[in-house]
């Protein structure tokens, strides 16, 4: 008889506390470093606090993956209680989090790390899928294999209001940032093979861009109706979000739309008013 399964993820999965509780998913926080101060992502430091600090003194945080020992301590609490663990991490192309989790798993029995090749609620979608598979009675090994095969069907993308934060964080050149800002371009980014790259640039007001982006992103795709995410990085009003949720429902059949706010790991690179629609393709 197989052991009970615990689904875990690092904090970049950007699932809300309500979703973590509902699907019985546990998370391990990355560390946010701001000057000489250290915070835990999603626990004692928020994007709003980060933006406030940035506007005060221009300081942007750096993120640090969990160490091998932190992962061992995290996984051990579940294995000691009789669980096997399926763990999801942000793409190995963006962080050493998965590599550290895999090394930690080698020290324990029954821990199965999965490289999501995603970020934000692209990871969250896989975590929810893992939880639903667990509740159907699948073993940890079966779930890990299933998620590893499914991750290529996860669609993760975002549209940015500004390139300022990517420029300040060293993710794009000053020339590219200047050109985009002068032309008022809104770049759209997507995950491909574990890497985040620009696939289109929009023009116009950011609210109109959100609508165009969602229409184009959902067009012509056969999408799993169970869970669709609208994930944003803050400073977007609720009326705008409600309108975009209504638009998604007009375009595709969907059972649940989850609105979540990205944590500091994503928000520190993308800046405020970044928004994405994330889903799994059939």
What is the block-wise mean pLDDT of the chain (282 residues), using blocks of 10 residues? Answer: 93 96 97 84 80 82 92 98 98 96 98 98 98 98 98 97 73 54 80 92 94 97 97 96 98 97 87 96 97
User: Are residues 170 and 146 part of one domain?
Assistant: no
CATH of residue 250: 3.30.1180.10
User: Are residues 226 and 192 part of one domain?
Assistant: yes
In this structure, the number of other CB atoms found within 10 A of the CB of residue 211 comes to 15
User: Are residues 14 and 141 part of one domain?
Assistant: yes
Residue 47 lies inside a defined structural domain of this protein: no
Q: Judge if pTM exceeds 0.75.
A: yes
Query: At residue 37, what are phi and psi to the nearest 5 degrees?
Result: -100, 145
Residue 60 lies inside a defined structural domain of this protein: no
Q: Final residue of a domain: which of 90, 117, 151?
A: 151
Quote the longest CA-to-CA distance of the chain: 62
pLDDT for res 177: 55
pLDDT for res 275: 98
pLDDT for res 172: 55
Query: At residue 244, what are phi and psi to the nearest 5 degrees?
Result: -75, -35
**In terms of Cα–Cα distance, which of 213, 214, 191 is closest to 202?**
213
How wide is the angle at C-alpha 240 spanned by C-alphas 234 and 244, nearest 5°? 105
Distance from C-alpha of 188 to C-alpha of 157, rounded to nearest angstrom: 7
Distance from C-alpha of 85 to C-alpha of 112, rounded to nearest angstrom: 6
Residue 264 lies inside a defined structural domain of this protein: yes
pLDDT for res 169: 60
User: Are residues 69 and 146 part of one domain?
Assistant: yes
Residue 107 lies inside a defined structural domain of this protein: yes
Distance from C-alpha of 178 to C-alpha of 167, rounded to nearest angstrom: 9
pLDDT for res 69: 98
Distance from C-alpha of 210 to C-alpha of 223, rounded to nearest angstrom: 19
In this structure, the number of other CB atoms found within 10 A of the CB of residue 196 comes to 21
pLDDT for res 175: 45
Query: What would the two tokens of residue 241 be?
Result: 């979000």
User: Are residues 133 and 162 part of one domain?
Assistant: no
Q: Final residue of a domain: which of 118, 151, 184?
A: 151
Residue 225 lies inside a defined structural domain of this protein: yes
CATH of residue 122: 3.40.50.10440
In this structure, the number of other CB atoms found within 10 A of the CB of residue 33 comes to 13
Domain that holds residue 203: 156-280
Q: Final residue of a domain: which of 121, 151, 181?
A: 151
User: Are residues 179 and 96 part of one domain?
Assistant: no
pLDDT for res 182: 55
Residue 40 lies inside a defined structural domain of this protein: no
User: Are residues 244 and 133 part of one domain?
Assistant: no
Identify the helix (H) or strand (E) that includes residue 54.
helix 47-57
In this structure, the number of other CB atoms found within 10 A of the CB of residue 282 comes to 8
Count of structural domains within the chain: 2
Distance from C-alpha of 112 to C-alpha of 55, rounded to nearest angstrom: 41
Residue 139 lies inside a defined structural domain of this protein: yes
């Amino acid at each position: 008889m197989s052991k009970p399964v615990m689904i875990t993820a690092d904090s970049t999965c950007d699932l809300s506390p309500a979703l973590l509780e509902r699907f019985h998913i546990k998370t391990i926080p990355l560390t946010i470093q701001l000057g000489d101060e250290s915070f835990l992502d999603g626990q004692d430091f928020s994007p709003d606090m980060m933006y406030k600090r940035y506007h005060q003194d221009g300081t942007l945080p750096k993120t640090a993956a969990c160490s091998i020992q932190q992962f061992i301590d995290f996984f051990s609490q579940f294995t000691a209680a009789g669980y096997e663990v399926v763990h999801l991490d942000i793409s190995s192309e963006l962080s050493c989090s998965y590599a550290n989790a895999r090394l930690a798993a080698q020290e324990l029995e029954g821990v199965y790390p999965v490289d999501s090749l995603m970020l934000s609620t692209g990871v969250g979608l896989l975590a929810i899928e893992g939880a639903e598979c667990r509740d159907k009675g699948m073993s940890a090994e079966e779930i890990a294999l299933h998620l590893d095969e499914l991750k290529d069907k996860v669609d993760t993308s975002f549209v940015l209001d500004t390139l300022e934060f990517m420029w300040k964080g060293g993710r794009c050149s000053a020339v590219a940032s200047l050109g985009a800002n002068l032309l008022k371009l809104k770049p759209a980014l997507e995950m491909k093979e574990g890497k985040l790259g620009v696939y289109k640039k929009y023009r116009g007001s950011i609210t109109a861009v959100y609508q165009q982006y969602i229409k184009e992103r959902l067009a012509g795709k056969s999408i799993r109706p169970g869970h669709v995410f609208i994930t944003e990085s803050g400073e977007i009003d609720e009326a705008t979000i409600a309108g975009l949720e209504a638009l998604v429902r007009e375009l595709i059949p969907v059972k649940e739309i989850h609105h979540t706010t990205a944590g500091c790991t994503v928000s520190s690179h993308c800046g405020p008013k970044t928004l994405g629609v994330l889903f799994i393709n059939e």
